[in-house]
Amino acid sequence: MKQPQYFRYEQGYRDLPTDILIRLADLYHTSTDYILGRTDNPSPPQP
């Protein structure tokens, strides 16, 4: 992903597609809820 596109997601100009959200959560070893600001716990859920 190019930097300008990432910037648009960070600034809220565009919504993050679900598949990208999941890949980012996997990349950073966190939960999608943490990325979305729905929790303060960065740990991914345990299966």
- In angstroms, the CA 40 to CA 13 distance is 23
- Which pTM was predicted? 0.69
Q: Quote the CA–CA distance of 46 and 14 in Å, as a whole number.
A: 30
Residue 30, CA distances (Å) to 4, 21, 27, 35 in order:
23, 11, 8, 8
Predicted local distance difference test score (pLDDT) of residue 28: 93
Over residues 1-47, the pLDDT tens digits come to: 788 988 888 898 988 899 989 999 999 999 999 988 999 998 887 77
Residue with token string 């997601």: 9
